[in-house]
Each structure stands twice: as structure tokens, then as C-alpha cells.
Amino acid sequence: MRFQLRHQLTATYLLVSLITAGVTYAWVVLTSEHRLNELTLEYQTREMQQEVIAWYKAEQSWEGFEAYFKELHPPHFKKPNSTTVNKHPLYSDPKEDPRPKRHGIVTAENIALISYLRFKKGEFIPPAYFDQSEPIYLDGKLIARIIPPEATGLSINSRNRVFLDNIHNILMFAIFVGVITSLLLGVILSRWLLKPLEQIHQAISSMAKGRLKQKVKVKASNELGELASGFNSMSSNIAKADQKKRQLTADITHDLNTPIQVISGYIEMAQHGAIELDEKRLSLIASELGLIERLVKDMNLLAKTDTKTLKLDITQVSISELMTSVHHRFEPRCHAKVISLDLDLVEPLPTLDLDRNRMLQVLGNLVDNAIRHTPKQGLISLTATANEAYCEIKVTDTGCGIEADQLPYIFDRFYRAESSRSGDEGNSGLGLSITKGLLEMQGGEISVSSDGLSGSEFTVRLPVGN
């Protein structure tokens, strides 16, 4: 049987309330009678002390004290053939115990002033009975002692029992009100606390039905608020990933469609005898097939970098030698386009554990991209510096630049920044995505900056301690 979390929270509040109320009630019940006995005994003892002091201060002797005390504290226990009972708050109900539980009063010389246990007035009481006695002083002189009742405490008489019963009734009413209040608060608080979770559950259900872009309101600043914010971020990322997947499919279809149409057009015309597949046309078909092959290889390379399954040939690579090789490789091409290619190596540069061929591919993609977007008389700079933490390689051009709103997407697959950067023949839009993937597999990272007017700058960072 499935219980909702709201009901579980409400039950938890109710259980905690019941346990707290039960413990409180048990503690009060178990201790109130004993504590009331102590207070009653203490009160009566203090009252007797005042009576003894008042008598002795006035009479300066104990002659006649017993009659005085009996008048103040008449005996209550049932005598033979007695039909009435004289009750006193100090003593027990005679129906419960016909034997009185009385204090004892002795002089400083331990002589009983009233009957106590088996001792009668005027008899000597041994000090063994004085363990918990209360001494009575007058002007600093010990004049008497009060001995507590002989039984183990006083029983509660009917009036005190009524008092305790009232306490129990009040406690039961308070527990009832507390439980009802806890139940109501549990229902209200559980609704309030679980509202974000309910919203997230509804949003997840919508995502399961295909509506990926969901957002829940974040009102709380606690863990539930953080959960809601995290869900919103996750939902947004999933929606973006789905959009990128759809865009990727469309881009692949578009990039494959053009060469396939060209090839199928020539073949169809040749089959109908409209044209003859001479060497020029066959060369064109081969070129279109090359575009398809390169696109498939690029996609396969990206898939391997995504899954981290690309095998790397890691060796000791000198950054100076790597940069020099890239410069020599592209210098003739830049010379043909009347573009200056500068190389600036700030020595000393480290030797790092890298895949040399893949790094040549990374830097080749960046330089090739710079050449395609740099006009004649332009400048491309290759710079390498290093510190204790990382080695930094920069490829800077004086081309058309990249708009600021396009910079966050420049490394996305099939993304072409602008018309001037998207019309290059043979450019699949995967070069920068491949560059980023290859760098990340080797522990590096890449970033780009541009003012949108006077060129762009790509920065590669490789950790020195990789």
C-alpha cells in the first residue's frame, strides 16, 4: 500500500506530539503525588515549628504543651465504637488507614512532649529516631525537635486527591488540544513543505510526456528551493540538448543532401544518356564523395571524443617544436593569400605529455579557420607562453571577428558564426567542436574572444602538470 509523503509527515508530527504528551503526562503523574507529599510535610513541619516556638517563648516551659497541641491538632483516627471521623489535611483518610501518621515532638533532652509511636509523653526517645528530624532554635538555643511521621510519607487525603485529579484532567485536556493542534499544523505544514515537490513531480510527469522545457517556481530559500533551482537548470539543459540534437540531425541531413543530390543527378543523367561521365565529371563526383567521407569521419571523431574512447598516442612533445611545425606548414598558404603569419615563442617553453598528431590537428584547425576569415594584407599571430601552472597558446587574426552574442555557441556542432564565415566551401561546421573535444581529452581547454570588428583570438591552455 502506497502512502503519500504528506501523510507520512503528518503522521510523524502526530507521533512526536503523542510521545511528548505521553512522557509529560507520565512524568507529572508519577512525580506530582510524591512532590505534593513533600510539600505538605514541609508545610506542616514549618507550622508545628512556629507553634512550638510560640508556646515556649510565652511559657518558658513545656507544662501544658500536650493539651495545647492536641487542641490545634485533634486526633482523627477511628476509636472503638466511633461512628465519626475527624479529618485533618495532614493525615490519611481513616477508611484507608485507621492508624494515624503523626509527627513526634521532643525536648532538647530527647523527652517526648506528645505520644509518638510506642513512646508516651515524658519518655526518653533514643537519638536513632532523629535521623531526619528538624531542630527548633530560640535565640540560638536548641529547645526541641520535630520528628517526621513514622510511616514512609503521608497519604493524600481526599482534598489533595481532588487537587491531583484536577491536575490530571487539565493535563488530559492539554494533551487533547496539543494533539489536535499538532494534527492541524502537520497537515498545513506538510502542504506548505511539499508544494515544491508536488510542482517538481508534475513537471517531471510533463517531461516524461515529451514536454521537456519545464520550470517550477522557486520561493523557498532552503534545500527544497535548491532542489527546485537544480530541477529548473536540469530541465533547461535537457531542453537545450534536445534542441541541439534536432538541429544536429537537420544539419547532418543538410550537409549530406547537397553532395548526394549532385552525385545522384550526374548518375541519373548518365543513365538516361543525357551526359557522358568524362574525367571532369568523375572528378566532381569524387570531390562530393570526399566531402561525405570527411563529414562521416568528423562525426565519428566527435563521437569518440564525447565517449572518451578515442585512442591517443601520448608522447613527450616540445611546445616550441610543435609551434614551429605549425608555422612551417601554413606559411606557404598564407603567402599565397598575401597574409602575414607571425610566430612568437616566449622561452622557456615546456615539454608536455600530448598526442602530437592530434595537437597538430587542433592547431591546424585554428590556423585554417583564421586563414579563411582573414582578408589580404591581414595578420595571423601564433604565440606561446608558459608559467608554473599551464602553457598558453594563442591564435590571433585580423579578420571580420565574431559578434558577442555568437561567442557562446562558437564551439557548437555545425554552428557557423555569420554569413561571411559560413559560406566557405567544404566547411562542415565541426572543426571547432573537434578542436575542443581533442583538447579536453588531453586535459586542455579552449576559449575565444572578439570585439566583433577587428578579428578574433583563440586561446588554448594546457596544464603543465598533465
Q: Using an 8 Å Cβ cutoff, are 106 and 113 in contact?
A: yes
Q: Write down the pTM of the prediction.
A: 0.51
pLDDT at 446: 93
pLDDT at 162: 59
In tens digits, what is the pLDDT along the chain, a chain of 466 residues?
A: 455 656 666 677 677 777 777 777 777 766 666 666 777 777 888 888 888 888 888 888 888 888 888 888 776 444 444 444 444 443 444 444 444 467 888 898 989 888 888 888 889 988 888 877 889 898 888 989 888 875 434 444 555 565 667 677 777 777 777 778 777 777 777 777 777 777 777 888 888 887 777 777 777 676 777 778 888 888 888 888 777 777 777 777 777 777 888 888 888 888 888 888 788 888 888 888 888 887 788 788 878 887 888 888 999 999 999 999 999 999 999 999 999 999 999 989 999 999 999 999 999 999 998 998 899 999 999 999 999 899 999 999 998 888 888 888 888 877 665 544 433 444 556 788 889 989 999 999 999 999 888 889 999 999 997 5
pLDDT at 360: 92
pLDDT at 157: 54
